[in-house]
Structure 1
Amino acid sequence: MKKLKNFRWYMIALVVLITVINYLDRTALGVAAPTIMDATGITKEQYSWIVSAFQLAYTIGQPVMGYLIDTIGVKLGFALCAFIWGLATVGHAVTGTWQGLAIMRGIMGFSESSAIPAGIKTVSTWFPAKERGIATGIFIMGTSLGAMLAPPLIAWCIMFHSWQFAFIVSGSLAIMAAIMWYACYRDPKDARRLSEEERLYIEAGQEAYLDAPKEKVSALKIIRQRNFMGIGIARFLADPAWGTISFWVPIFFVETLHFSLKEIAMFVWMPFLMADLGCLAGGFVAKFFNDRGVSLVNSRRITFTIAAVIMTTIGFVSIVTNPYLAVMLISIGGFAHQMLSSVVTALGADLFKKNEVATATGMAGACAWSGQLIFNLFIGAFVGVIGFGPFFIALAVFDVIGAVVLWTFIKEIKAPAKPDAPQLATDH
């Protein structure tokens, strides 16, 4: 069988594809929300409970899905999860009550929580340490790319037929992606198209002290580590921004900026496009510092701090009156959030052993989505009274605190010296 050059990037492209569909499916509700609420009479408070059902299930599901993927493997585990969330997405179309939508969102959230643990597991398996940040940034691009594609696709489906049709289309994409993942994904040891040269390059560039294939995964051991606490708290503070952009910004555009459905389709994707650029920026900025002698962990902390400072600009959304300026500021927030999110997520692969990286990532993800869940409930309860302004101000501050936490809690692992990793001819 013919060997393919840079085969590891084919694997990350597969992760990107399924992650795009993952986030397209979850963002579909936010885009369709004004139409659904108008058609069914669902209130803002009930909508917040629908969103919370997803967030609660996603929060609980991440450590469970991470452990599942560490146990049965990323190939089978991720395929099963994608198939289930596809069915749940289609299930949105057959219910018109907030309770029914909440049940579908719960099933969807639990299964969709596999995405980030599966992606980080793939990165830790397929990439040397020096490329890990870029690979993580590329696959996390799928989160914002999916969210960016959702507004025009879902709006078109609604205008063409109905909001129910929008969920049938998006759910069917997930079912097809599950089949594709299972058919195409391979671990390096099973990949017949992977050249021996590239295999050695990957192995030589990974940390031997993180390889513990026979060691049993212990969630209790992971949660007691200060490195986990640092990542978990930082993600708890960071993720309310993504939840707000995904689930509440379309409503903010309609009610505060008075956008029509067509204008939502025209503008809501912009924060997600900027978020894609932020994903890439996170990986390359961290590599810039790492290539100049800064340690791997410190390069990621510096990048997080830079992005946290940029994130403070989202607070000005609370005082601007020009709708296009508000879109720009929210877009900058999307860029900054994904820039810092990609590097803090990559830290899981830098600091935890290969057999526990998906579990640790899932547990940190549970912290992140706990932050989203709590923030969402506050928005649902108080936005009708105080408006969106105070919430944007809070988002401007959270990541600065998160940067302080990373510098305070994270402790670098001192690895034994090892020979330089061989270079692939294609890397020159």
Structure 2
Amino acid sequence: MMNWRSIRLRILLLLIAGTIINYIARNSLGALAPQLKTELGITTEQYSYIVGAFQLAYTIMQPIGGMLIDKIGLTAGFALFAVAWSLANMAHAGAGSWQSLAAFRGLLGIAEAAAIPAGMKTIGEWFPDRERSVAVGWFNAGTSLGAVIAPVLAGLVAATYGWQAAFIVTGAIGLVFAAAWYLFYRSPANAGYLPAGELAEIRQGQRPVPTGTTTLRAIAVTPRFWAIAVPRFLAEPAWQTFSFWIPLYLAKERGMDITEIALFAWVPFLMADAGGILGGYLAPWLQRWRKFSLEESRIAGIALGAVLMIAPGCVGMVESPYAAIALLSLGGFAHQVISVLINTLSADVFPQNHIAKTNGLVGMAGWTGGLLFSLAIGQLADNIGFAPLFACLGAFDLIGAFWLFAMRRHLILQKA
């Protein structure tokens, strides 16, 4: 595995920092939702539209953002998107109704959509194949850690200075990251600070990948794209539910106030960190000790995560709120195992100069599933409760794992 003094580790740490900051911004809404519903008179259905505005903008913009990153490069491209998401999040402080809040969420979704494609392109450029899932695991841990920090940071700032200040603080820190990224990040070929030996190690560890997928249309018609996109479509509703609905679930069905939510809502995301990191190490372990191919190791890990996703589906069967949080935490762990390995597959089977747009298109499929499910929650949660909806999440991932297994022949490029 990578040398802990390597330059690519420093690149990964910078990327993780940006991901944490990105997710602090997007998850601040969920942490503040109970207070916003009271102070702005927002119904559960209207809140689903606010969430949906972010999801719709994010869904549509992911392949576009990825295409822009591929075109203008990571250095300037990711920095510009970071500035944009910071300003959009700070603008939330001016919301006076659910409609204006939805508009600002839409702007945030547009700006944040390039973050994951940019991260995957960074890893695709900087890491040999054998290290890629590990790097993605740590990168994905940034998404969960941001979600851990968001309810604590936003909740404490809101309790002291008001919810408007919480949006300003969680947005402003992104400007610091944008400056750091622009000043430091360069691709390996252009990084004067990268030793020749490490550059050779990176290049020698990356196998050739079939080319020819130069446009979004060309990518979208390949069987290997659909092999990845369908499981992502089925997996993403879980993460969207955890990110945007857990605080409301804990308030509505478990009777927690905003302070208790700040104390406990981060636990599933801490477990998600563990799942992302261990999921990244699982793939190379399967390659080394079970002699799986590169792609087979990803598929096996996704299947394991899908089985574990049965846990959050059982939330309605427990009476204790702490037992419910434990099941949701296992779900966070399982989902991030799945997420890490699906994202890694998009970097494994598509060429480097198209990774951002490919991952953006896969992400668009995933966020379409997340958007549809969030709208369903908004329509159904007040009538049937959250338990049947959580039960659906486990079933979705099992179906996705079966699909991926059936489509595996379209992903196996060569033996690792």
Q: Which residue of 2 aligns with 1:257?
A: 254
CA, structure 1 residues 291+162, in 2 after alignment: closer, same or farther (shift >3 Å)?
Answer: same
Contact 1:140 1:279 in 2 (8 A): yes
CA positional deviation for 1:412: 3.2
**DSSP 3-state at the match of 1:51:** helix
The alpha-carbon deviation at position 413 of structure 1 amounts to: 4.4
In the alignment, the residues of structure 2 paired with residue 200 and residue 397 of structure 1 have an alpha-carbon distance, to the nearest angstrom, of 44
Cα deviation, residue 216, structure 1: 7.6
Q: Secondary structure at the match of 1:171?
A: helix
Asked if 1 retains the 8 angstrom alpha-carbon contact of 2:293 and 2:414, the reply is no
How far is 1:217 from its partner? 2.2
Asked if the contact 2:157–2:163 (Cα under 8 Å) also holds between the matched residues in 1, the reply is yes
Kindly provide the CA deviation profile for residues 146-174 of structure 1, in whole angstroms up to 9, marking residues without a partner as x.
00001110110111110000000011011
Matches within 5 A, 1:135-284: 135-209=135-209, 217-284=214-281
Q: Decide whether the 8 Å contact of 1:5 with 1:195 is kept in 2.
A: no
Match in the other structure for 1:414: 413
Residues 412 and 41 of structure 1, relative CA distance in 2, 3 Å threshold: closer
Q: What is the distance in 1 between the residues matched to 2:415 and 2:85?
A: 43
SS in 2 for 1:239: helix
One-letter amino acid of the counterpart of residue 356, structure 1: H
Pairing 1:291-370 to 2, within 5 Å after superposition: 291-292=288-289, 293-370=291-368
Task: Name the structure 1 match of 2:62.
Answer: 62
Kindly provide the amino acid, as one letter, of the partner of residue 89 in structure 1.
Answer: N
Instruction: Please report how far the alpha carbon of residue 220 of structure 1 lies from its aligned counterpart in structure 2 after TM superposition.
Output: 1.1
Q: Which amino acid aligns with 1:97?
A: S
**Deviations along 1:346-376, whole A, 9 cap, x unmatched?**
0001100111111110000000000000000
Letter in 2 for 1:247: F
Q: Alpha carbons of 1:414 and 1:239: their partners in 2 closer, same or farther (altered >3 Å)?
A: closer
Work out the number of aligned pairs and report it: 411
Alpha-carbon distance, 1:209 to partner: 3.5
Give me the whole-angstrom Cα distance separating, in 2, the residues matched to 1:413 and 1:260.
49
In 1, Cα distance between equivalents of 2:272 and 2:148: 9
CA distance in 2, matches of 1:321, 1:115: 38
Summarize the Cα distance change of 1:416–1:284 in structure 2 as closer, same or farther, 3 Å threshold: closer
Q: Indicate how the Cα distance of structure 1 residues 223 and 216 shifts in structure 2: closer, same or farther if over 3 A, else same.
A: closer
- Give TM-score scaled by structure 2 length: 0.97
- The reply on whether 1:8 has 2:5 as its aligned counterpart is no
Superposed CA deviations along residues 313-334 of structure 1, whole A, max 9, x for unmatched, are: 1111012110100000000000
Gaps of 5+ in 1: 418-428
Cα separation, 1, equivalents of 2:169 and 2:267 = 22
Q: Structure 2: which 5+ runs fail to align?
A: none
The residue correspondences of 1:68-79 to structure 2 (distance < 5 A) are 68-79=68-79
* Distance in 2 separating the partners of 1:302 and 1:414: 16
Partner SS for 2:311 = helix
TM-score w.r.t. the length of structure 1 is 0.94
Large movers: runs of 4+ above 6 Å? none
Q: Deviations over 1:100-136 (max 9, x none)?
A: 1111111100110111100110011000000000001
Name 1:41's counterpart in structure 2: 41
Letter matched to residue 293 of structure 2: S
Distance of 1:232 and 1:100 partners within structure 2: 32
8 Å Cα contact 1:209/1:415 also seen in 2: no
Shift of 1:48: 0.6
**Secondary structure in structure 2 of the residue aligned to 1:356:** helix
Does the 8 A contact of 1:67 with 1:358 survive in 2? yes
CA shift at 1:46, angstroms? 0.9
Aligned AA for 2:281?
Answer: F
- What letter corresponds to residue 350 of structure 2 in structure 1? F
Provide, for residues 265-294 of structure 1, a one-character-per-residue CA deviation record: whole Å limited to 9, x for no partner.
110010000000000111111111111321
Contact 2:20–2:143 (8 Å) recurs in 1: yes
- Is the 2:231–2:404 contact (alpha carbons within 8 Å) kept by the matching residues of 1? yes
How many Å apart are 1:261 and its aligned residue?
1.3
Match of 1:421 in 2: none
Identity value in percent: 44
Contact 2:296/2:412 (8 A) holds in 1? no
Q: Deviations over 1:80-100 (max 9, x none)?
A: 111011001000001111111
Whichever residue aligns with residue 7 of structure 1, its letter is I
Q: Are residues 1:128 and 2:125 paired?
A: no
**What's the Cα RMSD here?**
1.3
**Is the contact made by 2:82 and 2:178 (CA closer than 8 Å) also made in structure 1?**
yes
